[in-house]
Chain A
Amino acid sequence: MNPRRCFQVPLVTLFLLVCACPLASADVSPGDIVDKTSWKKAEKLLPESVLNWVKKGDMVLRVGRLAYDPKDYFPPAARASLEPNRGKYDLDPNNLVIDAETGKPPEFIEGIPFPDIEPKDPKAAEKIMYDRMYYTYTQGNIRLPYDAAWVSRNTGYDRDVQCAFLQYPLTGYGPARNESNKPGIERFSILQLLAPFDIAGTNVLLWRFLDQRKDNTFAYIPAIRRVRRMSPANRSDAYIGSDLCVDDAWAFDGKVTDFEWKVLRKQEGLVGFLDPAPQAFEKNESGEWHTTRGIRAVAYGHHKEGWQGAPWVPTNLVWVKRPIYVLSLTPKDPYYNYGVQEIWVDAEVPFMLIYKAINDRAGDYWKTLWMSFSGFMSADDRMRLLMVTSIVVTDDRTDHSTVVDLANPNNLQAVYAVQDRNDYSLGGFQKLCK
């Protein structure tokens, strides 16, 4: 036997073994399936808690490619502000937005305040979060009906509540410039509980202020037939007993100034999208833009016969690699029920908060929130934006999840919604109350 062949055989064998080994490559390509046998591919692309779900077999990720670029899906006003707002704003020592030139609070902010984020900026994380808030404000008034379902591993679907979220911004959205704003409101919002019967009619009105003042929160409680003033300081309290707390809405609905923020790193990550193609968006006769009944619905595990994974997991998403900032946030309130949290946010589209891994006050891991998205586009391509299509919060201690379903043919999500500002006054709020 040729002596060189004696070495080549084991080397070739070794080479073949390495190539065959499924653990060899920590990256994904369109067409890959990442499941419990191939989780290593996504090792650096998912938070540890989510990776654990894949390892356990709870989740299966179908990696794909989008037919569009999410950063082309800014709302028109947001897109239009990217150039004029460059360098226009900054943050003061309290992390409130100020005019970079004058150092004072600006009269009005139109669009996204910080189009350019420098990761090394010590206030980069705060700026990213402001951009994310203002992205939603540039959509004008919004009306988002949704279902929130309680799902446990053993029994699957337990129960659900039907809600609607209404928002009326007084900043970020151009036409709001002409509205009087003596109290200094950043936005009004109303959360309506529509079903089931025992909680239907509960409405929560919120006034959020531009400065550091805490929110004004008023709740109409049907059982007492009146509006009750609520504390704004308990936003880490579980939302009607679900796995989310009040601040977990849309992954983060707190005040930026109530947390310490830090950019930990920039990396790539996998993001769930409803479909490779954008979904349809239509304008109604009132001028509102809304999703359509033809929207592709999210199929959760408990909907799918034969599904072996967790019942709360969306099973029909396409997973796409995106550039990500990983931020940490630490509550300043010593009584806040969460400890340090880690948020993954899309580096090109700040609206997309993708994952939030939540620790308890002792620093031990507790639960993870993650969202899926879709681009929405009108037939004439004049209107494009991104929207959240599902929110899943999984409490790994109790093996239970709450699923907020937004991509539902029965729940048309509307932006640039026609609303009456009076509805957000104390008197107008009575209209919503039984």
Chain B
Amino acid sequence: MSLRVKPFLGGFLAVFVLVLAVRSEAFFVDEKKTFAFKAKVQTRTSLRLQDAEGWTYPGNIYVGNLVQWRNLALLELDHDLKELTKSLDILYPLKALKIQSKYHLVGRFMYEGVYDVGPQAFQDIKDRDKENIDSFTHQYDLWEFYVDLSRGPAFLRIGRQNLAWGETDIFRLLDGINPLDNTFGGPFEDLDDRRIPLWMLRGNYNFGDVGPLYSFTLEGFWVPGSWDARVAPFAPLGSVYSAPLPETFFPFVRVVTPDKSLSNSRWGVRLMGLVGTNVNVSIAHYKSFLDAPALRSVVVRDVPVLTDLNDLTLEVSYPDVQVTGASMSFWESRTDIVFRGEVAMFWDEPVFVPEESLGTLYGPTLPLPPLVLDLAAEMLGVDVRDLGLDGLPLNPQSGTIPKKNILRFVIGLDKQIWIRPLNKTSTFFLSMQYFGTWVTDYDGRMRQLAPLYPTLINFPKVMETEHVFTALISTLYRKGTISPQVALAYDVRGAWLIMPAVNFTKGPFRFMLQYSAIQGNFTGFGAFRDRDQISFSLTYLLN
């Protein structure tokens, strides 16, 4: 056990014991029930059910290998300040202005053990990239901390928080404000488990009934870039859920995240309300950073001929994107279905066009005879012919980040349905969605960002329109103690995702068993088709 693990485990246990000690108390700490304390500890283990294939690195991960041992402790405090406001002088302004206030705090302790106790291949990855791996495998965070202030129709929430807009599940359209942690779980983990809170100022104002609109509300948020310009962390190459990229690229990758400056602020505005008391509508516009980074080749110094690979990097960056969209939902009485819809235009979204993004490799070259190229490959460790070159780039130029306006939309329906032969006491919840994507100014050279094995520069095509269907069905048995569910996704270009799971409840314990599998073509989520796994988690709720 590494030295770094011990203090963590010690701290973890101390917290665990402390919280156990208070478990016998009411979960409200004070008599007036203004101060609530909750906690849970969880361990989750996943075993791979498929051998690594293609460009997945490391390639020596096999069926039965441990790929996740994630341990989590969450401590949550909620404190309504209404009683303190009456007695504490420092809070007098709140009392005088009749402002209701409370705060919410979440401490998160996370340890991912697969790089310490998992297959040797992952331990080797950690040895090679210790700082990077440690940064996301040992985390002690003030995960959420915000203060709520409200008075009448006005509400303000200030602090580290999550904010989700829109009407979608599983995949995100208008729900792109907070970044997702891509260092674990990949497509097999719940969105909320991966959402990263941001330091944000958020508020809304309820205008009430205005014309045909009821509960008409204006909402806005601002994440000052000088405070928080966090983006979705780039899963280090070789980590369990990293994208399948060739090892050849590793030495060249340089991740550039937005710097902390006001120009990198996220912000957004939304109007929402009810039309005719049945139809929820909203329109929104926001600026944020997408989870999927942009890639381009960068020549770090002006040279007439690219002879030194140290002059070339692959820059992973996160340009900001503005999104305009609308959503609606309503319940249709005859069919007893809740219909949802959402449409969003992603303006100037970075896309990958090899000829532009990796422009360095597509310019003029100094042709070399095969013998020389063989020698160069030996010396450089990279055969430029694998990159589509017949020589060395002349007057090499950096690539660019092409951008497109991409329209995404979803139509969803939710229905609770009785299937009495299967369950006499609880309905089945069925949720289905169709996601569509249309690149309005389509370029036939657009590609996905992971090359097709065994080539280095042959990337799957991106179509002008893409279509994905999802479905989720769940129910409850035995007085809510057993909850099975199945989630499905289908990309019409030939990729399937299936995730059956069952949750058991026994007293303060929660057990979860989940099988996750992706089959089919190397497209979209199909890029993770060799990551099938079975997961088991045990959670203890302290209250």
Chain A residues within 8 Å of B, Cβ to Cβ: 145, 150, 158-159, 162, 180, 182-183, 194-198, 200, 207, 209, 213-214, 216, 222-226, 228-234, 237-238, 240-243, 293, 335, 337, 360, 398, 400, 402, 410, 420, 422, 425-428, 430-431, 434
Contacts and interface: CB of A to CB of B under 8 A. Distances in A.
A406 to B, nearest CB: 15
Interface residues of B, number: 77
A-B complex: 7 closest residue pairs judged by Cβ atoms: A241-B480, A427-B217, A225-B164, A427-B206, A241-B476, A229-B329, A426-B215
B192 A195 contact: no
B336 A427 contact: no
Given A158-B479, A216-B277, A226-B165, 12 more contacts: A145-B33, A150-B479, A182-B209, A182-B214, A197-B542, A225-B164, A225-B195, A230-B338, A237-B427, A238-B425, A402-B479, A427-B215
A88 B169 CA distance: 50
Contacts of B100: 420
Contact of B162 (A225, A242, A335): A225
A231 B40 contact: no
B59 interface: no
A197 B338 contact: no
Contacts of B437: none
Contact of A337 (B39, B166, B330, B418): B418
Interface in B180-217: 190-192, 195, 204-206, 208-209, 214-215, 217
A216 B279 CA distance: 10
B153 A224 contact: no
B51 interface: no
Interface stretch (B375-383, B389-397, B505-513): B505-513
Nearest to A286: B82
B365 interface: no
B256 interface: no
A426 B274 contact: yes
19 contacts: A194-B27, A207-B277, A216-B277, A216-B331, A228-B414, A229-B338, A230-B331, A230-B338, A231-B331, A233-B336, A241-B426, A410-B26, A420-B100, A420-B152, A425-B153, A427-B155, A427-B215, A428-B206, A430-B219
B507 A428 contact: no
A409 to B, nearest CB: 10
B253 interface: no
Contact of A216 (B144, B206, B278): B278
Given A225-B192, A422-B206, A427-B153, A194 B36 contact: yes
B217 A426 contact: yes
B155 A238 contact: no
Contacts of B175: 226
A183 B209 contact: yes
A4 to B, nearest CB: 67
B225 to A, nearest CB: 22
A82 B480 CA distance: 44
B104 A434 contact: yes
B23 to A, nearest CB: 11
A158 B507 CA distance: 6
A95 B510 CA distance: 46
A158 B162 CA distance: 33
B508 to A, nearest CB: 7
Contact of B192 (A224, A232, A402, A428): A224
A243 B155 contact: no
Contact of B480 (A196, A200, A238): A238
Contact of A242 (B195, B479, B508): B479
Interface in B55-75: 74
A228 B175 CA distance: 13
Contacts of B505: 159
Interface in B233-257: none
A360 B425 CA distance: 10
A195 B543 contact: yes
A280 B36 CA distance: 26
Nearest to B510: A198
Contacts of B148: 431
B517 to A, nearest CB: 22
Nearest to B207: A427
A425 B150 CA distance: 13
B179 interface: no
Nearest to B39: A197
B449 interface: no
Nearest to A333: B336
Interface in B346-400: none
B48 interface: no
A425 B480 contact: no
Contacts of A158: 479, 481, 507
Contacts of A425: 153, 206, 208, 215, 217
Given A180-B209, A225-B164, A241 B481 contact: yes
A229 B541 contact: no
A365 to B, nearest CB: 14
Contact of B333 (A214, A398, A430, A431): A214
A162 B208 CA distance: 31
Contacts of B206: 422, 425-428
Interface in B269-298: 272-274, 277-278, 280
Given A196-B543, A197-B38, A214-B333, A426 B273 contact: yes
Contacts of A224: 164, 169, 191-192
Contacts of A398: 479
Contacts of B508: 159, 196
A226 B176 CA distance: 13
Contact of B415 (A150, A231, A237): A231
A233 B508 CA distance: 32
A252 to B, nearest CB: 19
A196 B541 contact: yes
A226 B427 contact: no
Contacts of B150: 420, 422, 428, 431
Contact of A430 (B33, B36, B166, B204): B204
A119 B14 CA distance: 66
A224 to B, nearest CB: 6
A411 to B, nearest CB: 8
Contacts of B481: 158, 241
Contacts of A162: 27
A213 B277 contact: yes
B458 interface: no
B340 interface: yes
Contact of A198 (B153, B219, B277, B541): B541
A426 B272 contact: yes
Given A231-B414, A237-B426, A241-B481, A422 B277 contact: no
A219 to B, nearest CB: 11
Contacts of A213: 277
B539 interface: yes
A214 B332 CA distance: 11
Nearest to B282: A426
Nearest to A400: B479
Contacts of B519: none
A223 B215 CA distance: 24
B43 interface: no
Nearest to B340: A229
B345 to A, nearest CB: 20
Nearest to A335: B418
B280 A426 contact: yes
A147 to B, nearest CB: 10
A194 B481 CA distance: 18
Nearest to A217: B331
Contacts of B277: 183, 207, 209, 213, 216
A214 B501 CA distance: 33
Given A159-B505, A224-B192, A242 B480 contact: yes
Nearest to B28: A410
B161 to A, nearest CB: 8
Contacts of A420: 100, 150, 152
A237 B416 contact: yes
Contacts of A222: 192
